[in-house]
A = this chain, B = another copy of it.
Amino acid sequence: MVESSIQLDLVFTALSDSTRRSILARVAEYEMSIGEIAQHYKLTFAAISKHIKVLEKANLITKRRRGKEQIVIIVPKSLDVAREHIERYADMWEDRFNNLDKILEEK
């Protein structure tokens, strides 16, 4: 535990399950109720509800009430933290690559 970023932990954990990625893709297109989401999967309602809670905890989605239903809404900027983190690896590697000249000179 060095770069203690709980938010990143939560986001990557949420994205590590294909059912959750599928749900996220769904609500990225159309906001919909939990019941509507659950219809598309063989899992029980409760299981879907749990997956949605994981996405919510990672702040990838949020909920709003519409009568009896809970409407699931994507939080658009929430994935930025993950995207930016991934870019950072690329940048580091790029820097290292650009320093190859120096390394070769030492030979």
Instruction: Give the interface of A toward B (CB within 8 A).
Output: 1-5, 8-9, 12-13, 15-19, 21-22, 24-25, 28-30, 40-41, 74, 76, 79, 82-83, 85-90, 92-93, 95-96
Contact = CB atoms under 8 A, between A and B. Distances in A.
Contacts of A28: 89, 92-93, 96
A25 to B, nearest CB: 7
Contacts of A29: 92-93, 95-96
A102 to B, nearest CB: 13
Nearest to A30: B96
Contact of A93 (B9, B76, B90): B76
Contact of A89 (B3, B5, B18, B74): B74
A90 B25 CA distance: 10
B92 A86 contact: no
